[in-house]
Amino acid sequence: MGPLDGIRIIELAGLGPGPYGTMLLADLGADVLRIERPGDVFGLGRPEHELLARNRPSVTIDLKDPLGQAVMLDLVQEADALIEGYRPGVAERMGVGPDECLARNPRLCYARMTGWGQQGQLASEPGHDINYLAMTGVLDAIGPPDGPPSIPLNLIADFGGGGMLLAFGLTAALLHAGRMGEGQVVDVAMVDGAASMTTMMHGLAADGLWTWDRGANLLDGGCPFYAVYATSDAGYMAVGALEPQFFAELIDVLGVTFDVPSQYERSTWGHLRAVLASAFATKTRAEWIERFDGREACVTPVLNMEEAHGHFHHRDREMFVEIDGVVQPGPVPRFSATPASRPRPRAPASAQVLNEWGIPSDRIADLIEQSIVS
């Protein structure tokens, strides 16, 4: 089920952004076969809790063996797309690079998920989310002005700039292949995606509305009405009262007096921050939740991830689902005509799955006996 029903994708298993982008596609109905290499260990916990691998079967194929490479290319012939997350040149050395795969299937969309991209002086270097953020100016822009940059988990480059860009780019390539009958290589780089997310800030900077100083701007913690404040019980409330009508509601609910010509007068921000901090510190988080209920001030409690599971809004939308006892976010976005099905946990592929991908049963048995496939 889902809008991508009927699309067949091969995933060469990897870490983080590749599996996340593939998960998004599988959640929406794509028929994905996950290929793992012998001895590969992915994830940071138990395999059954590798949630990024949900909604698709996995099979181990020895791609160092010519027989394994031959199986892989036969699978490619049945696929609409392939996703790999190796460093540049690795897939080519295994005999399953773009040239070999597109020769077997000219309509194939071959997506390459890397940190630095396929070209450039850093292309072959290792890296992680923090490195890509550091090199694009993103990391320097996050955090307090009087301290080091803050690490925003690994959400921006890995999953936003990587996994989501992968899903978007591959979908665009599939649309082109459907219209024109030709495949292509999609070069997805986390460093590119992280940089792309700063487009708005570059525009604001050109207008003199954004500085490159950390913690000095409207959306980076420098603004007192777009900030986080502690409550009396060591909880936190998030304030996003950017527009005048929301700011007026904020001031009214807090019961504070702050009379200036404009909330955007930067010279008053230090005083306003102190006023707001003092007000929020007088009550518990629960009390502020009650007081802001129904008020259009763009003020919400700061929930931890476990608390988020039970929030009434998320329950209403069934945002979180429980699969085999593990709570996790459900498929997104939502579609009216082609809704996604309930996620399924990671599972090994059976001979039947490979058979459905065009591999004869007797050949599968031989490959299993020779430990090429497992």
Whether the Cβ atoms of residue 232 and residue 283 lie closer than 8 Å to each other: yes
Q: How far is residue 72's CA from residue 358's CA, in Å, rounded to a whole number?
A: 11
Nearest to 300 by CA among 349, 263, 246, 342: 246
Whether the Cβ atoms of residue 82 and residue 109 lie closer than 8 Å to each other: yes
Alpha helical stretches, state H, the chain: 17-27, 66-77, 90-93, 98-104, 129-136, 165-180, 190-196, 199-206, 244-254, 269-280, 285-292, 305-309, 312-316, 351-356, 361-369
Does residue 333 have a cis peptide bond before it, meaning omega lies within 30 degrees of 0? Answer: yes
**Identified catalytic residue from 62, 158, 192, 220:** 158
- 28 contacts: CB under 8 Å, gap ≥ 6: 2, 3, 4, 331, 335, 340
**Identified catalytic residue from 49, 65, 74, 128:** 128
| 3-state secondary structure (DSSP) of residue 354 | helix
Whether the Cβ atoms of residue 91 and residue 166 lie closer than 8 Å to each other: no
Q: How far is residue 22's CA from residue 327's CA, in Å, rounded to a whole number?
A: 20
| 3-state secondary structure (DSSP) of residue 44 | coil
**Phi and psi, residue 268, nearest 5°:** -100, -5
Q: How far, in Å, are 170, 238, 241 from residue 248 at the CA level?
A: 45, 16, 8
Residue position matching structure tokens 């010519």: 66
Amino acid identity at 100? E
Q: How far is residue 55's CA from residue 344's CA, in Å, rounded to a whole number?
A: 5
Catalytic-residue membership of 128:
yes
List, by residue number, the catalytic residues. Answer: 128, 158
